[in-house]
Amino acid sequence: MSLLIDNKEVIVSGRLPRTARLKAEYYEGVGEVDSFLAKMKGAKVRADLFTFIQGVADRNPRYDFHLEWDSIAVLPITTYENWWKKQINDKTRNMIRKAQKKGVEVRVIGFTDELVKGIQGIYNESPLRQGKRFLHYGKDLETIKRDHISYLDRSDFIGAFYNNELIGFIKLVYGQGVSNLMQIISKRAHRDKAPTNALIAKAVEICAQKGFPFLHYGMWSKRSLGDFKKHHAFKQLEVPRYFVALNLKGKLMLKIKLHQKISQQLPERWGDVLTDVRSKWNSFRHGA
């Protein structure tokens, strides 16, 4: 379920409790919180809780709502030279050089129909990504175009090309004091050419040129993708996440901690086991 409030898309998910949040919560803020909450109540949103984050550039808690912490991956940036010489290791530098030697060209590109077709080609390579069903697989061109048309006034698309074929891309969205990797994905068939490493390097170069001190790359993870982030000098950063009860049920859910996902309450080793089981099951189902 989704609806527009103050020209921002709010999605509602879950059953017990039903939780509302901004669909693009890491790329746009709620603004004046009391005013936004009043508009939500006026719209009679069918949710028990509303959750929002404070943001990367301002991490000192400023609100009296129920507070927890999100662990996200953030790269501190001063200059590209500093990142290249002091923040990453030789193995990562060699991967970026490898992309260049293999003939991968990385450049900023416009949002065109040609780009959308290239993105579709990347999406349709496999129905699975990281052991999970890939939600973008099989999407038509109009849907993909609609997915990526947001924030064009403050975004850059970076493409990785091999023999004029788009084999990877980044959508880089600029916020207040932080840039965000809204999406980064490459074709697995060209993994030997290290296009994703080259894309990260280009994103860092652009952020340094534009004067952005932070580059945000999703949630922090201790699994394989977490290692990839570490190798490119991303660090774990805690940002405030607030939960606001919208009714009596929401207050009860917060009190007995049922607002958290079951996966958040499991021991980490259990989560690893369940993730492996899910990956194997999905591979079996899809014949991958």
Query: What would the two tokens of residue 49 be?
Result: 């809780």
Q: How many domains does one find in the chain?
A: 2
In a domain, 220, yes or no: no
Same domain, 61 and 82: no
Q: How many other C-beta atoms can be found within 10 angstroms of the C-beta atom of residue 94? A: 12
We report the CATH number of the domain holding residue 93 as 3.40.630.30
Q: Say whether both 82 and 170 belong to one domain.
A: yes
Q: Are residues 23 and 84 in the same domain?
A: no
- Residues 113 and 208 placed together within one structural domain of the fold: yes
Cα separation, 285 vs 196, whole angstroms: 28
Between CA 108 and CA 160 the distance in angstroms is: 9
Same domain, 82 and 208: yes
182-210 b/e (C-beta count within 10 Å ≥ 16 → b) = bbbbbbeebeebbbbbbbbbbbbbbbbee
Q: How confident is the model at residue 286, as a pLDDT?
A: 55
Whether residue 179 sits in one domain with residue 97: yes
**DSSP designation for 236:** E
pLDDT digits (tens, 9 = 90+) for 40-58: 988 888 999 999 998 887 8
Indicate whether 234 belongs to any domain. Answer: no
d(CA 121, CA 233): 30
| Backbone dihedral angles phi then psi of residue 199, each to the nearest 5 degrees | -65, -45
Buried b (16+ CB within 10 A) or exposed e, 102-141: eebebeebeeeeebbebbbebbebebbbebeebebeebee
Residue 107, amino acid: R
* Predicted local confidence at residue 176, as pLDDT: 86
pLDDT tens for residues 154-166?
A: 999 999 999 999 9
89 and 16 assigned to the same domain: no
Peptide bond into 17 cis (omega under 30): yes
- List the domain range (segments joined by +) for residue 169: 78-212
List C-alpha distances in Å: 83 to 34, 111, 260, 283: 40, 28, 36, 37
CB 27 within 8 A of CB 176: no
Which pLDDT score is estimated for 12?
A: 94
Is 208 inside any structural domain? yes
Enumerate residue ranges in the chain where pLDDT < 70: 222-224, 261-288
- Would residue 230 count as lying in a domain? no
Among residues 212, 227, 255, which one ends one of the domains?
212
